[in-house]
């Protein structure tokens, strides 16, 4: 199986069968991760670069691990230690890195569309690891992977995304991913955090959490960004928690089979109470492990899924 | 651009002369001698030594006036100069242009106004009528020396690129300009409502782009028309892009407020949907909005709510535009495509007659700016364009006259073009 695009720029560019291709491939690699020596030679000799313009521990590490588990070289490039701080443009930086001979560029950037821009100007494949408030496709894929593991399938399931929908790339990618996999999605947050025309994603909108929370199979809690806390999107953390937080009280009222996810890092006591962490159905940590498998699948399909070598590495990966 | 041919006698033969004043068009030859129109009548016999321009099947009209553009000199001569910009303007049929004062430094003194006019005269292409800053340094705080700038040749006042956010300062600007009978051009944008340069709506939601809502424009327009009514001053609303702004201006005109307005070809040609690929050549301020806004802008032009068509020609280098969306400067070049886009959307789109369309590019902006009227009649100075409406052409990068090439219309097939311009005794063929 192969993806239609050379790049992974967003869930937007993936159809249902491509999403399933990635998730199935990820399942193969998830098994690899449970081995004593969790490594396959699938991408031996290849190199990718983590080009991160925004601070991120888990996503950069997850991609780095995914690469190393595939025997693929991975170098890290961060804004703080590079010529970016000397005023180098994104295009200059990308061309310089490409000239060093990398096969793929994993980019996180604060500006929406930065990966798309890059994909038009470099020969390497580009993976979007988060572009502003636009998309974060590997996060959505790992959420979908985790939910499929728990629920079997998303078909016909009801999912609720709670929080700052307007500024969340996770919300956008999850809306696209969940609906393409057949789930019925609702979003909930204060009206100040709901972007205009979000219904065009085919979702319902709720301003009050208690009107929808107890009717869903999946609750995807979003992180409250620190800068929103100081803007006028909501009055106080106390009030946010009271109306939109997954509090211990709400948790007690939830049916036991309801699955809770969060992209992390969690602001404990804001969008989720500490009690949620102790609950086995909160999938924050399994999500992280699955993230490595999903990113292995993405790198593998983009870098190696083609030609004789690709075919060979693929069979090795499955052996 | 080809250098001008200086010729004593020029005969524009066999064309149809458009009179935007009377809104008529009639077949006539136009004879120009020594830079002035000598006669306009059917079948003028050509004397020896007369340069004959074959205008059969073409139209002869007064030169256009662009009341809103950016020539970047002084400050950003790498993007455009007064010479290159006025050459590009002329290639688009504009014989007079009004550069906005957001130069570096900002155009807020008499000397700077004189400098721009002199530079344009030296270049010998389109004439320049500068717009001066209404506040010092475009800071929105203290009045600039508006009277002195009027004396030097400034025709309107604006802090274009930025709004005058402080209502008291705007009130003072409007009041003060009454002494000189010059319009205040308002760049309507409530900055507090704007997070980024994309229209807030379904497209910005899908792309996650930082955005600003249409109400950032319309609410400021509402404030400014009420201030203009209160002060009894002349207000002109720049680059109208939103339906609600059109509604505000229509309401104000019904109330008798002295308000005029302009829009630009991109607002009646394109919508926000083109942003899907994050192409920075579609990044403009105000942003491209919805199909409903585009239709409202056209309806506003049709019923006279929006008076003039201006380009907002805003040159930026390839290297500046070739970046992620947030980092790219807003603005597109517009001189060389304006006439054709308007012809396509408004004349072929049956919004306007040709004469009415040309009026919006000629006598209407002249009236707003108190520039002398135009007549294609014996005795008048020659300031003419020849229009080939049958021409079909492609706006290819190698034909761009402007120093910058940041146009979303590159590669687009166009209908109708400016074939020649005549400025006094200087003939330019394109």
The reported pLDDT for the residue numbered A1 is: 62
Does residue A314 or residue B314 have the better pLDDT? B314
Residue of B nearest to A113 (CA): B278
Query: Which of A112-121, A224-233, B86-95, B397-406 has the weakest average pLDDT?
Result: A224-233
Average pLDDT over residues B229-252: 98
Q: Note whether A89 contacts B: Cβ–Cβ < 8 A.
A: yes
Chain B contact set for A110 (CB, 8 A): 326
Q: Is the pLDDT of residue A308 over 80?
A: no
The reported pLDDT for the residue numbered B6 is: 67
The reported pLDDT for the residue numbered B48 is: 81
CB contact under 8 A, A90 and B202: no
- Report the percent of chain A where pLDDT is more than 70: 89
Sequence-ordered list of residues with C-beta below 8 angstroms from that of B314, at least 6 positions apart, any chain: B69, B70, B284, B330, B331, B332, B333, B334, B406
Per-residue pLDDT reduced to its tens digit, B270-300: 999 999 999 999 999 999 999 999 999 999 9
CB contact under 8 A, B278 and A112: yes
Q: Is the pLDDT of residue A89 over 80?
A: yes
CA–CA distance, A216 with A208 (Å, rounded to integer):
14
CB contact under 8 A, B326 and A110: yes
Q: For chain B, list the domains and their CATH numbers.
A: 5-60+377-429 (2.30.40.10), 63-368 (3.20.20.140)
- Taking the CA of residue B302 and the nearest CA in chain A, the distance in Å comes to 30
- Taking the CA of residue B221 and the nearest CA in chain A, the distance in Å comes to 23
Residue of B nearest to A10 (CA): B207
Average pLDDT over residues B145-151: 98
CB contact under 8 A, B205 and A197: yes
Q: Where are the beta strands (DSSP E) in A95-227?
A: 104-109, 125-131, 158-162, 184-188, 204-206, 218-221
CB contact under 8 A, A117 and B200: no
Per-residue pLDDT reduced to its tens digit, A191-225: 999 999 999 999 999 999 999 999 999 999 999 98
Instruction: Work out how many CB contacts closer than 8 A connect A with B.
Output: 68
The reported pLDDT for the residue numbered A318 is: 37
Q: Note whether A164 contacts B: Cβ–Cβ < 8 A.
A: no
Closest among A78, A22, A69 to A49, alpha carbons compared: A78
Active-site residue flag, B398: no
Q: Is the pLDDT of residue B108 over 50?
A: yes
Dmax over CA atoms of chain A, in Å, equals 59
Edge-to-edge strands, sheet with B383-394: B5-6, B426-429, B413-423, B383-394, B59-62, B16-19, B24-27
Average pLDDT over residues A38-52: 94
Q: Where are the beta strands (DSSP E) in B116-245?
A: 127-128, 131-132, 156-157, 184-186, 235-237
Q: Note whether A132 contacts B: Cβ–Cβ < 8 A.
A: yes
Does residue B371 or residue A229 have the better pLDDT? B371
The reported pLDDT for the residue numbered B46 is: 81
Yes or no: say if B115 and B151 are a contact pair by the CB < 8 Å rule. no
Q: Is the pLDDT of residue A317 over 60?
A: no
Token pair, residue A292, equals: 């490595």
The reported pLDDT for the residue numbered A307 is: 33
The reported pLDDT for the residue numbered A282 is: 64
- Taking the CA of residue A215 and the nearest CA in chain B, the distance in Å comes to 26
Q: Note whether A13 contacts B: Cβ–Cβ < 8 A.
A: no
Q: Note whether A110 contacts B: Cβ–Cβ < 8 A.
A: yes
The reported pLDDT for the residue numbered B92 is: 98
Q: Is the pLDDT of residue A313 over 60?
A: no
Residue by residue, DSSP assigns A150-182 as HHS--TT-EEEEES--TT-HHHHHHHHHHHHTT
Sequence-ordered list of residues with C-beta below 8 angstroms from that of A239, at least 6 positions apart, any chain: none
CB contact under 8 A, A200 and B205: yes
Average pLDDT over residues A83-99: 81
Q: Note whether A117 contacts B: Cβ–Cβ < 8 A.
A: yes
- Report the percent of chain B where pLDDT is more than 90: 94
The reported pLDDT for the residue numbered A286 is: 72
The reported pLDDT for the residue numbered B377 is: 94
Per-chain mean pLDDT for chain B: 96
Chain A contact set for B214 (CB, 8 A): none
* From A110, A112, A200, residue closest to B207, measured CB to CB: A112
Cα dihedral across residues B404, B365, B122, B137: positive or negative: negative
What is the SS3 assignment for B144? coil
Q: Is the pLDDT of residue A319 over 70?
A: no
Residue ranges of alpha helices (H) inside B283-379 are 291-302, 318-321, 335-342, 354-361, 363-368
CB contact under 8 A, B278 and A109: no
Pairing relationship of beta strands B50-54 and B9-13 according to DSSP bridges: parallel
Average pLDDT over residues B156-185: 98
Q: Note whether A197 contacts B: Cβ–Cβ < 8 A.
A: yes
Q: Is the pLDDT of residue B5 over 90?
A: no
The reported pLDDT for the residue numbered A233 is: 87
Chain A contact set for B318 (CB, 8 A): none
CB contact under 8 A, A132 and B209: yes
Residue of A nearest to B320 (CA): A89
Q: Note whether A131 contacts B: Cβ–Cβ < 8 A.
A: yes
Q: Which residues of B touch A (CB under 8 A)?
A: 200-202, 204-210, 213, 277-278, 319, 322-327
Q: Is the pLDDT of residue A309 over 50?
A: no
Average pLDDT over residues B125-129: 98
The reported pLDDT for the residue numbered A280 is: 60
The reported pLDDT for the residue numbered B326 is: 93
Q: For chain A, list the domains and their CATH numbers.
A: 11-136+289-318 (3.40.50.1370), 137-286 (3.40.50.1370)
Average pLDDT over residues B254-270: 98
Q: Is the pLDDT of residue B86 over 90?
A: yes
Sequence-ordered list of residues with C-beta below 8 angstroms from that of B139, at least 6 positions apart, any chain: none
Q: Is the pLDDT of residue A278 over 80?
A: no
What is the SS3 assignment for A284? helix
Query: Which of B22-36, B228-242, B339-353 has the weakest average pLDDT?
Result: B22-36
pLDDT band for B8, please (50, 70, 90 cuts).
confident
């Amino acid at each position: 199986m192969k993806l239609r695009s050379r790049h992974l720029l967003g869930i937007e560019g993936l159809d249902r069968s491509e999403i399933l291709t990635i998730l199935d491939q990820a399942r193969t690699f998830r098994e690899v991760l449970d081995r004593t020596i969790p490594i396959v030679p699938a991408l031996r000799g290849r190199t990718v670069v983590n080009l991160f313009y925004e601070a991120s521990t888990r996503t950069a590490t997850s991609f780095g691990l995914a690469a190393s588990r595939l025997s693929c070289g991975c170098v890290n490039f961060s804004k703080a230690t590079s010529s970016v701080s000397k005023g180098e443009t994104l295009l200059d930086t990308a061309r310089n890195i490409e000239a060093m001979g990398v096969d793929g560029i994993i980019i996180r950037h604060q500006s929406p569309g930065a990966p798309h821009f890059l994909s038009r100007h470099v020969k390497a494949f580009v993976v979007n690891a988060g572009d502003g408030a636009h998309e974060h496709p590997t996060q959505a894929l790992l959420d979908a992977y985790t939910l499929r593991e728990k629920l079997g399938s998303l078909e016909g399931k009801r999912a609720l995304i709670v929080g700052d929908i307007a500024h969340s790339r996770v919300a956008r990618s999850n809306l696209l991913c969940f609906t393409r996999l057949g789930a019925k999605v609702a979003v909930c947050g204060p009206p100040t955090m709901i972007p205009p025309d979000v219904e065009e994603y085919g979702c319902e909108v709720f301003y009050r959490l208690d009107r929808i929370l107890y009717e869903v199979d999946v609750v995807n809690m979003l992180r409250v960004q620190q800068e929103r806390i100081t803007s006028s999107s909501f009055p106080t953390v106390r009030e946010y928690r009271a109306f939109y937080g997954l509090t211990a009280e709400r948790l007690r009222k939830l049916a036991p089979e309801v699955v809770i996810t969060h992209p992390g890092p969690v602001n404990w006591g804001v969008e989720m109470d500490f009690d949620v962490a102790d609950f086995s159905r909160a999938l924050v940590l399994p999500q992280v492990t699955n993230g490595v498998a999903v990113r292995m699948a993405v790198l593998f399909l983009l870098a190696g899924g083609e030609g004789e070598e690709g075919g060979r590495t693929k069979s090795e990966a499955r052996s | 651009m080809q250098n001008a041919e200086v010729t004593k006698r020029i005969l524009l033969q066999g064309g149809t002369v458009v009179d935007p004043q009377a809104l008529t068009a009639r077949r006539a030859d136009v004879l120009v001698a020594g830079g002035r129109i000598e006669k306009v009548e059917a079948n003028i016999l050509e004397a020896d030594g007369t340069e004959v321009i074959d205008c059969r099947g073409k139209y002869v009209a007064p030169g256009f006036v662009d009341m809103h553009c950016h020539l970047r000199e002084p400050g950003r001569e790498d993007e455009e100069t007064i010479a290159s910009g006025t050459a590009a303007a002329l290639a688009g049929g504009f014989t007079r242009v009004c550069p906005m004062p957001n130069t570096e430094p900002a155009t807020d003194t008499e000397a700077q106004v004189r400098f721009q006019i002199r530079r344009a005269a030296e270049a010998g292409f389109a004439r320049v009528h500068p717009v001066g800053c209404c506040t010092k340094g475009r800071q929105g705080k203290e009045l600039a020396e508006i009277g002195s700038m009027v004396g030097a040749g400034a025709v309107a006042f604006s802090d274009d690129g930025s709004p005058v956010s402080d209502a008291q300062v705007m009130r003072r600007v409007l009041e003060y300009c009454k002494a000189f009978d010059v319009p205040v051009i308002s760049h309507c944008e409530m900055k507090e409502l704007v997070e980024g340069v994309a229209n807030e709506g379904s497209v910005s939601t899908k792309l996650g782009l930082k955005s600003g809502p249409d109400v950032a424009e319309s609410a400021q327009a509402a404030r400014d028309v009420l201030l203009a009514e209160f002060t009894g001053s002349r207000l002109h609303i720049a680059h109208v892009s939103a339906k609600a702004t059109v509604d505000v201006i229509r309401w104000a005109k019904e109330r008798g407020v002295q308000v005029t307005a302009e829009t630009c070809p991109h607002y009646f040609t394109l919508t926000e949907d083109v942003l899907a690929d994050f192409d920075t050549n579609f990044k403009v301020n105000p942003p491209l909005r919805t199909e409903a806004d585009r239709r409202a802008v056209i309806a506003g032009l049709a019923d006279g709510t929006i008076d003039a068509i201006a380009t907002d020609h805003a040159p930026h280098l390839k290297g500046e535009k070739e970046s992620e969306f947030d980092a790219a400067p807003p603005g597109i070049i517009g001189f060389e495509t304006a006439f054709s886009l308007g012809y396509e959307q408004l004349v072929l789109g049956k919004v306007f007659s040709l004469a009415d369309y040309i009026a919006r590019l000629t006598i209407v902006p002249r009236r707003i700016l108190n520039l002398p009227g135009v007549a294609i009649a014996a005795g008048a100075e020659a300031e003419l364009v020849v229009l080939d409406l049958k021409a079909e052409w492609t706006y290819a990068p190698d034909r761009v006259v402007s120093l910058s090439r940041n146009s979303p219309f590159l590669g687009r097939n166009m209908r109708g073009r400016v074939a020649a311009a005549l400025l006094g005794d200087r003939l330019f063929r394109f």
